[in-house]
Amino acid sequence: MPLNTPGLITLGIESSCDETGIALYQMGRGLLAHALYTQVAMHNEYGGVVPELASRDHVRRIIPLVRQIMREADVPLTQISAIAYTQGPGLGGALLVGASVANALAYALDIPTIGIHHLEGHLLSPLLSDPAPEFPFVALLVSGGHTQLMRVDGVGRYTLLGETVDDAAGEAFDKSAKLLGLDYPGGPALAKLAAEGHAGLYKLPRPMLHSGDLEFSFSGLKTAVMTLVRQRSNDGEILLDRQTRADIAYAVQEAIVDVLAQKARAALAHTGLDQLVVAGGVGANQLLRTRLRKDIGKRGGKVFYPDLEFCTDNGAMIAFAGALRVAEQQGAKDYRFNVKPRWDLQEITL
């Protein structure tokens, strides 16, 4: 059966960081089932992801999750046509777990595997929603490790417009949250605390806002928060009351969202395109969503988001990107594999 036959089913495996995501995508029908196990509670104790623990936990979760979604979708293993897995970027050990299971299972089933770039998964995830954007569009990729503006002309046709020169937006959320004594992952925790904060009490920097290009910088923000917190701490103990921490959280969220929204708008102006796609974990931030809708809507543009559950790491985006590539005759019954902890999105083509 040729691999672009409608109806062919791709199994997707995501294990690049601290989430095990498994999904089944069928061409022509869509997502059949997906499941996610998050290790957040396990890593919370350590204040961040412990790579070795992450790998071991992926080993425990993948097969039961595969079984679970096969049952839910009522699809026997023998009906799967290809297996897509996250090949990078991410934690080397964690990636190897997903790659090993994908290749072993595919070898047993005599079907092809395909390695997917994690950011391509994020980038294409809004296409799983209805209404979906159409190519070409501008994508704002905002995750724990990346902050990039890309022009997307099609699958595998990505042009970098600008990116962060230091910390990622998610990292800025996470590091500021840690300074405010919040649990990992900091983004959602900081956003929640910010809801209790008041506007205008703290002025935080918005580096590179007027740099005239599409680059970002967030490390100065972290330093500014550090200074604010240090001024009010004793021997490393944070002496801020809850309201003050909420007011600072408010200012942090405002600063990050401000920069992201203004640069995203500038990217649309620069490319002359009118569709913006927001992808990656920070895309779950409600203030960012509201601000972009308002700002870009006012100018006649349209903003697309993945459904909330597909903003952060998940298997659906990997199954979907895999299905699109398999439909283009990609993937091989080779089963030799490597993972790419560092991998530039621009290196990939269709």
**Identity of residue 246:** A
**Identity of residue 66:** V
Near ligand KG4 by CB under 6 A, which window of 68-76, 167-175, 202-210, 232-240? 167-175
Partner whose footprint covers residue 187, from ligand KG4, Zn ion, none (CB < 5 to 8 Å by kind): ligand KG4
State which residue, 144 or 331, has the beta carbon closest to ligand KG4. 144
- Alpha-carbon distance of 306 to 317, in angstroms, equals 10
Shortest distance, position 19 Cβ to Zn ion, whole Å: 8
Shortest distance, position 316 Cβ to ligand KG4, whole Å: 13
- Alpha-carbon distance of 57 to 112, in angstroms, equals 26
Shortest distance, position 128 Cβ to ligand KG4, whole Å: 15
Nearest CA among 74, 72, 78, 67 for reference residue 20: 67
Q: Answer yes or no whether residue 313 interacts with Zn ion by CB under 5 A.
A: yes
Partner whose footprint covers residue 93, from ligand KG4, Zn ion, none (CB < 5 to 8 Å by kind): none
Q: Map the footprint of Zn ion across residues 131-170, applying CB under 5 A.
A: 143
Order of strands, sheet of 157-163, starting from the edge strand that comes earlier in the sequence: 157-163, 147-154, 137-142, 275-279, 302-304
- Alpha-carbon distance of 327 to 144, in angstroms, equals 30
Q: Answer yes or no whether residue 188 interacts with ligand KG4 by CB under 6 A.
A: yes
Nearest CA among 288, 178, 206, 201 for reference residue 248: 201
Near ligand KG4 by CB under 6 A, which window of 27-35, 59-67, 185-193, 257-265? 185-193
- Alpha-carbon distance of 194 to 111, in angstroms, equals 49
Partner whose footprint covers residue 188, from Zn ion, ligand KG4, none (CB < 5 to 8 Å by kind): ligand KG4
Residues 272-311, mask of contacts with ligand KG4 (x by CB under 6 A): --------xxx-xx--------------------------
163: which residues sit within 8 A by CB, 6+ positions away?
146, 147, 148, 149, 215, 216
The answer to whether the peptide bond before residue 136 is cis (omega within 30 degrees of 0) is yes
**Identity of residue 247:** D
Q: Answer yes or no whether residue 313 interacts with ligand KG4 by CB under 6 A.
A: yes
- Point out which residues bind ligand KG4 (CB under 6 A): 17, 143-145, 170, 173-174, 185-188, 191, 280-282, 284-285, 312-313
